[in-house]
Structure formats: structure tokens, C-alpha cells
């Protein structure tokens, strides 16, 4: 069991995709709340190490563990490490994902298969371990996208995978009955991450930033605050929901 400097019990969180973007900011935010965190990453060990350092500086404990989220053996080992290091798992934030954009008529089916492997299979694999191994009273948080509502052209491959995530959320929340575990999804709008900005010119970025009534892009901190609330005791009455954190988009 992980303890803080005062001898209290720390909650333990696994954050997939924790080395960059929204996942990394969520690591820092949960660390500021005193969590012990397992930072999962796909391949960039240097960025994962930096995320661990930031978490420790923010007041948490942290280690980094590499795992392909679509590989069930690797994800089981990820949970094994969390349990062995910190005594159990209370919070699972599944922020890992990939994006591929193309008009439906031009979709590369090999790219679509790769997208499905990470975003759908990966979500099932992580959710399966989370359902089996999150301690009673804990929280599971997945990620979707507000493009499900805005229906932007070229986003069909990506958005279709996130529609699957929303369906998983609703059903898993009901399957957790009797264990006091919440299951929710955050669906960000346009957020200033490398994943979002990659391949977009400034005109496109400015146009998307102007769409919300709040007239700006979201920040990783905006989304991490929502994640922290939904996985905290204060947010525990919110369950089986998709929270569209998007500044007022449809």
C-alpha cells in the first residue's frame, strides 16, 4: 500500500498515454492531488521519464511502464507492476490513442485497422483489466471526442472508434454494479495538443478555435481538471456519463 509523507494512504492511478498531451497533464494533476501514479507510455521513454519527474515535483509518487495498450499481456503486466509497487489500483485513466483523418472515400483501410487496434481494441484491453482489478470505490475514465457531435469532415475514421468508446462506457458502468466503481468518458473539443495540431495550418487552427462560445482552443489543463474531478471522491456521483469538455460546442 502506498503512503504519503504523513503516513496517509495514497490513491493509486494508472494513466495510459501518460507521456504526452492530455495524459501527461492528467498525470501532473493527479500527482498534485497526492496520487501514486503509473505512467504508461508506448515508446518514448524520455518523455515518460519527464512525466514521472513532473509528477514527483507536483507532490505525488510515480513510475513509468512501457506497454502497448492493445497487447493484453503487456497491459496485464502494467497492472501487475502497479499492484506490486503500490499495493493496488484505484483509478484508471485511459488517455492513450491515435488519430487518422481522411474522407471516407479515401480511407486507407490499413490505417483504419491500425486505428481500430489502438482505439477500440486498446480500450477493451485496458477496460477489461480495469474492470477486474480496480479496487472497490475506484474510478475508470476513458476518452472520446466532441467531433461525434460536430461531425467534421475527414474525422469519420477517428470518430467511429470513439463512438465505440462511448458505448463501452455506458455498458461497463452498469457491469460495475455492486462495486462502487464509476465509469465515465471525457470527450474533449479542439484542444491544443500535438495530436490535434499536427498537419493543420494556422488558418484551420484559428477557425476551430473560434467555434466554441468561449472562443479559444481547450488546453490540456482544462481537460485534466475534468479528469481529476471525475476520478475523485468529489465526482463519484457522476457515473456512466460522457462529459463533453469543449467550451460550449454542440
pLDDT at 101 over 80: yes
Rounded to an integer, what distance in angstroms lies between the CA atom of residue 87 and that of residue 35?
13
Domain for residue 212, yes or no?
A: no
CATH of the domain at 53: 3.40.50.720
Nearest to 217 by CA among 183, 193, 184: 193
DSSP bridge partners of 182: 139
Structural domain includes residue 208: no
Count of domains forming the chain:
1
Q: Is residue 71 part of a domain?
A: yes
Q: Which domain holds residue 143?
A: 12-190+219-243
- The radius of gyration of the chain's CA atoms, rounded to the nearest angstrom, is 17
Q: What is the mean pLDDT of residues 112-120?
A: 98
Q: Does residue 3 fall inside a structural domain?
A: no
The pLDDT of residue 179 is above 90: yes
* Grid coordinates of 178: 455492486
| 3 CB-near residues (< 8 Å, 6+ apart) | 9, 10
The question of whether 158 is a catalytic residue gets the answer yes
Determine what percent of the chain is predicted with pLDDT higher than 90. 88
How far is 155 from 104, CA to CA, in rounded Å? Answer: 9
In tens, the pLDDT along 42-95 reads 999 999 999 999 999 999 999 999 999 999 999 999 999 999 999 999 999 999
- How distant, in Å, are the alpha carbons of 27, 36, 78 from that of 132? 22, 20, 13
Q: CA 139 to CA 228: how far, in whole Å? A: 10
Q: What is the pTM of this model?
A: 0.94
Per-residue pLDDT tens digits for 182-213: 999 999 998 988 777 777 889 988 988 999 99
Is residue 9 scored above 80 in pLDDT? no
**In angstroms, rounded to a whole number, what is the distance separating the alpha carbons of residues 96 and 43?**
12
Whether 1 shows a pLDDT value over 70: the answer reads no
**Domain assignment of residue 209, yes or no:** no
In a domain, 199, yes or no: no
What's the 3-state SS for 175-192?
HCCCCCCEEEEECCCCEC
Average pLDDT of every residue of the chain: 95
223's grid cell: 481537460
pLDDT of residue 89: 98
Residue 121 lies in a domain: yes
Task: Please pick, among 86, 100, 155, 158, the residue that the annotation labels catalytic.
Answer: 158
Amino acid at each position: 500500500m502506498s503512503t504519503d509523507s504523513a503516513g496517509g494512504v495514497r490513491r493509486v492511478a494508472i494513466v495510459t498515454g501518460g507521456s504526452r498531451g492530455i495524459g501527461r497533464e492528467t498525470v501532473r494533476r493527479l500527482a498534485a492531488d497526492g496520487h501514486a501514479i503509473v505512467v504508461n507510455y508506448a515508446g518514448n521513454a524520455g518523455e515518460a521519464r519527464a512525466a514521472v519527474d513532473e509528477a514527483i515535483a507536483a507532490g505525488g509518487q510515480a513510475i513509468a511502464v512501457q506497454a502497448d495498450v492493445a497487447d493484453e499481456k503487456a497491459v496485464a503486466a502494467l497492472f501487475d507492476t502497479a499492484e506490486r509497487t503500490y499495493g493496488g489500483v484505484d483509478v484508471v485513466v485511459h488517455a492513450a490513442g491515435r488519430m487518422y483523418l481522411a474522407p471516407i472515400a479515401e480511407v486507407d483501410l490499413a490505417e483504419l485497422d491500425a486505428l481500430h487496434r489502438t482505439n477500440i481494441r486498446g480500450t477493451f484491453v485496458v477496460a477489461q483489466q480495469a474492470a477486474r482489478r480496480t479496487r472497490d470505490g475506484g474510478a475508470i475514465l476513458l476518452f472520446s471526442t466532441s467531433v461525434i457531435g460536430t461531425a467534421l469532415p475527414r474525422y469519420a475514421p477517428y470518430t467511429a472508434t470513439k463512438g465505440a468508446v462511448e458505448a463501452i462506457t455506458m455498458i461497463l458502468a452498469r457491469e460495475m454494479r455492486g462495486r462502487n466503481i464509476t465509469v465515465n468518458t471525457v470527450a474533449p473539443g479542439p484542444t491544443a495538443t500535438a495530436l490535434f495540431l499536427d498537419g493543420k495550418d494556422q488558418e484551420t487552427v484559428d477557425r476551430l478555435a473560434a467555434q466554441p462560445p468561449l472562443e479559444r482552443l481547450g488546453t490540456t489543463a482544462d481537460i485534466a481538471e475534468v479528469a481529476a474531478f471525475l476520478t475523485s471522491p468529489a465526482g463519484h456521483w457522476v457515473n456512466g456519463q460522457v462529459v463533453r469538455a469543449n467550451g460550449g460546442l454542440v
